[in-house]
Structure 1
Amino acid sequence: MFKKLMASLGVGAARVNLVLDNEQCRIGEKLTGKVLIEGGNVDQGIHALDVDIVMKFTVRGKEFTRTVDTVRVARDFRIKARETREIPFEHAIPIFYPVSKGSVSYSLATRMDIAQAVDTGDTDRLVVLPSREMTMVFNALEALGFKEKIGSGKIGKLGQQFEFYPSTLFAEQLQELELNFYLENNSMKLFMELELTGGYMRNGLEHHAELDLPAELLSGGSVQGIADFIREFLENELNRVSIQGPRMAPSYHNVQPHTHGPGFGGFMGGMVAGMLGGAMLGSLFDGDENEEAGDNGAGEEGSEDGFDFGLGDFMDFGDDEF
């Protein structure tokens, strides 16, 4: 009786530990491992065993924490005293997770709901890496002499945006290249914003372009092949700009986003857009970023019950970087 009483208070109760095969996982691949449960001094009933995927990020020096997914591992079972049990764990990293970069980070919170006792848990680190296709594009840009800027990886209207500057090739024509990744069927699109430099073009003028990377090019795995494809595309775009002038309207205006699912269309890293909905998110980012925001409670941590951003949390986003 005394052991049961102590277990109900958390002393000598069952314990849980999530053991990952690898704490790093690419977008589009499966995070795998096992949940270890060690029985305590008495038999205990377990109502629920869940793992929360928690994202932490900083905006204007204020830290936010949100649960972006919950993996249901097991329900309603019993763990005997001193018993050790292993339950497989896996979770596919979807395309709408932003990459771990800058202030964006993840953790895994394992929660075990014990009947008539103090609940227990475990916390582990998670690093979300770019998908294989994204990595090949990054490597191709590096091969062309592009360097990723400090602060790259901010969250915008269409999700996570990556920023590069040319160090050799295109350095006389471009100040900056920004891109969003978009998946459509078996191909990947790069929505680009090219900030032009001087010469025959006005300094700082922006040109929007859309590049389709064929599935066969990506599946071939040739970084040099992708680099040549991107180089030829940029050369043609810059030549077109010199003759016709820059395209001021973004290409993504033609994309019809899906606002009912967890992601935002096929935009990779589009977590925020998918959860808030395109119309609401657009109104937040289109506001005057220099306008003073009121007291909206943005400095407080959000609810861990799900990825439920309130309007107050994002009123002062502007176009800030994460």
Structure 2
Amino acid sequence: MVFKRLLGSLGVGGPTVDTVLDPGPVRPGSPLTGQVHLRGGRADFTVEHLTLELVARVEAEHADGESEGLVAFDRFTVGGGFRLGEGEAHSVPFSVTLPWETPLTELYGQGLGIVLGVRTELSVAGARDKGDLDPLAVAPLPVQEAVLEAFGDLGFGFRSADLEWGHISGTGQQLPFYQEIELIPAPQYAHALDEVEVTFLAGPAGVEVVLEADRRGGLFGEGHDTLVRFTVGHDDVRDWKAEIDGWMRRLIEHRSSYGTPAQYVPGGHGEHHHAGHRSGPGVGTAVAAGAAGLAVGVVGGMVAAEVIDEIGDFFEDDDDGGDEGED
């Protein structure tokens, strides 16, 4: 028996864990449900804690260059304090609520190239094992979907999406990173914009839509970025195509106001602020396939692409270690 305990403490003959998420993508702020299946090892064990950890692959910029790694952004204890007998099968159902700012991994079933996962941590006899890591699929909230679809209707193209370490000043951002969805400007805006990056910061009361426009420089001047913010409600019903056309035209028309204090744009269509610069920008993760600037249409004209998706290999590699940050 002592020898069995020794084997278990070293991970040989110890309990095994398999977390199964309920099928289908989930939405930010919504329940994530599933079951953790345990199988006892070659000895009896007391399971002290059973924890789920949400992780994301995030890019960061440092003085020495750029790097990327897994960042944990939420933890949930879903069980513990029970005895798991030798060879015994035991399942623990769970329902946890995703953070409102959880990044989107897909749109209309098309992957965006964002890597999210659920990692299961088993604590037994004072030892912790982070052995099970499962990919997490997150679909947009209805208002996020409406905004992205309207961009597509206007002729914008999808270029890439990534997660950037840092904070966007002037916003209510809660997580230590944010998502950028980079769009190729529609022809009617291409004379003034090189690209537009969309960031959603959702919360219980609504969604902040942060737009960063990389604007072309004139003959005698350099281009620069403008960061503006609009606030929309979860249940807002608008002519989103016209709304976003207005947002984009304001970006272009207010060149001279870059760097001025925050201002309110009348008309009842949300707040419009010149926000501070984003901190911690990274290099971005290329997602779209094909020639640069080519929009691949899906529902409503929004774009997607065949994603070069190595999420499975990434998760397998992560089991052997790698860069990891804490929130």
Q: CA offsets per residue over residues 213-250 of structure 1, 9 Å max, x none?
A: 35443xx4x7xx31122124434664x54xxx532127
SS at 1:25 equivalent: coil
Query: How far 1:253 sits from its partner (Å)?
Result: 9.5
Distance 1:120 1:152, change over 3 A: closer
Q: Which residue of 1 aligns with 2:240?
A: 226
Query: How far 1:103 sits from its partner (Å)?
Result: 7.3
Task: Give 1:162's aligned amino acid.
Answer: I
| Greater mean deviation of Cα atoms: 204-213 or 85-94 | 204-213
Q: Does 1:72 align with 2:77?
A: yes
Q: Which residue of 1 aligns with 2:185?
A: 166
Q: What is the distance in 2 between the residues matched to 1:153 and 1:133?
A: 20
Instruction: Among all aligned residue pairs of Structure 1 and Structure 2, give the percentage whose two residues are the same amino acid.
Output: 25
Query: How far 1:142 sits from its partner (Å)?
Result: 0.8
Equivalent pair of 1:48/1:113 in contact (CA under 8 Å) = yes
Q: What is the distance in 2 between the residues matched to 1:116 and 1:195?
A: 51
Q: CA offsets per residue over residues 252-306 of structure 1, 9 Å max, x none?
A: 799xxxxxxxxxxxxxxxxxxxxxxx99x95x67xxxxxxxxxxxxxx95566x4
Distance 1:184 1:39, change over 3 A: closer
Q: What is the distance in 2 between the residues matched to 1:178 and 1:251?
A: 22
| Greater mean deviation of Cα atoms: 11-20 or 178-187 | 178-187
SS at 1:229 equivalent: helix
Distance 1:90 1:251, change over 3 A: farther
Distance 1:200 1:148, change over 3 A: same
Distance 1:145 1:125, change over 3 A: same
Which sections of structure 2, spanning at least 5 residues, go unmatched?
Answer: 106-110, 169-177, 265-275, 282-320
Q: Which residue of 1 aligns with 2:93?
A: 88
Task: Give 2:23's aligned amino acid.
Answer: N
Q: What is the distance in 1 between the residues matched to 2:118 and 2:58?
A: 15
SS at 1:149 equivalent: strand
Once the two structures are superposed, the pairs formed by residues 266-285 of structure 1 within 5 Å of their partners are none
More helix by share: 1
Query: How far 1:15 sits from its partner (Å)?
Result: 1.9
Distance 1:41 1:168, change over 3 A: same
Choose the corresponding residue for 1:188, options 197, 207, 211: 207
Query: How far 1:130 sits from its partner (Å)?
Result: 3.8
Q: CA offsets per residue over residues 182-210 of structure 1, 9 Å max, x none?
A: 44773433333444457899773555544
Task: Give 1:94's aligned amino acid.
Answer: P
Q: What is the distance in 2 between the residues matched to 1:103 and 1:50?
A: 26
Q: What is the distance in 1 between the residues matched to 2:262 and 2:159?
A: 23
Once the two structures are superposed, the pairs formed by residues 227-242 of structure 1 within 5 Å of their partners are 227-235=241-249, 238=252, 240-241=253-254
Q: Does 1:145 align with 2:155?
A: yes
Distance 1:21 1:237, change over 3 A: same
Q: What is the distance in 2 between the residues matched to 1:132 and 1:125?
A: 22
Equivalent pair of 2:57/2:71 in contact (CA under 8 Å) = yes
Equivalent pair of 1:208/1:249 in contact (CA under 8 Å) = no
Q: Which residue of 2 aligns with 1:21?
A: 22
Q: Which residue of 2 aligns with 1:53?
A: 54
Query: How far 1:119 sits from its partner (Å)?
Result: 5.0
Query: How far 1:72 sits from its partner (Å)?
Result: 0.9
Task: Give 1:143's aligned amino acid.
Answer: D
Q: Which residue of 1 aligns with 2:44?
A: 43
Distance 1:164 1:86, change over 3 A: same
Q: What is the distance in 2 between the residues matched to 1:185 and 1:106?
A: 22
Q: Which residue of 1 aligns with 2:133?
A: 123
Q: Which residue of 2 aligns with 1:135?
A: 145
Which sections of structure 1, spanning at least 5 residues, go unmatched?
Answer: 255-277, 286-299, 308-322
Q: What is the distance in 1 between the residues matched to 2:250 and 2:94?
A: 48
**Structure of higher CA gyration radius:** 1
